[in-house]
Amino acid sequence: MAKLARSDDQIQQPEPGVPFDQESITYVPSDGDPNSTKMHGITFHANVPKQLSGDHPLVAKLKEFPNRFFHVGTFDIGKHSSEAKKGDNPDPTDGPSYRAHVLRWFMALDGNSASSFENFVARWASEEPVRKIAEGADANALGTDDYLWLGDVIRPRLADMQKAAGLNDEAAAQVWMQHGVLQLRF
């Protein structure tokens, strides 16, 4: 089996004509994400490609359902790292893109931190202009169904964050009001 040529910042594909049945998978964390993660029993370290058999179930899963945390194929830290991709996620302009946007930053919050509840509220409040743009007039505009969907996803974890912060409902309402949010739509 062909060996991979390694350099500090990329994995190179084997020479043409050499049989190769492995795939390179790289964990690409964002700011605040752990330096390593485990998936399908395999530990991945940040920005360090792992070679898996081309028929490994994880390879098939990531090819069928790509996600921003794992890169399949040759990894170039200058092109594929989270720092290089920062401009890849523009502000959302409709309901589906806003839901994905909120889930990205919401899931990145540390739910066990006492400051997570206030961090969520501050972020939600600061995004009012983004929501206004996403509430545009087209058929995919951010609307009631999107807010209800977000609420179903966010409420349980937000309640855990509120509990971790030691806030009762009245104190939590005060945090919302301090950030200028007087009514929740989810």
Which tokens belong to 98?
């806003």
- Position 167 scores a pLDDT of 93
**Range 5-86: architecture per CATH:** 3-Layer(aba) Sandwich (3.40)
Q: How far apart are CA 7 and CA 124, in angstroms?
A: 42
The domains of the chain are located at 5-86, 89-178
Question: Which CA distances in Å does 23 have to 7, 36, 54, 56, 132?
Answer: 17, 19, 5, 9, 43
- Best CA proximity match to 173, nearest among 184, 185, 164: 184
Min mean pLDDT across 28-37, 45-54, 142-151 is at 28-37
Task: Note the pLDDT tens digit of each residue in 39-98.
Answer: 778 898 888 889 888 888 888 888 877 777 788 888 777 666 665 555 555 678 888 888
Q: Which residue has the higher pLDDT, 159 or 139?
A: 159
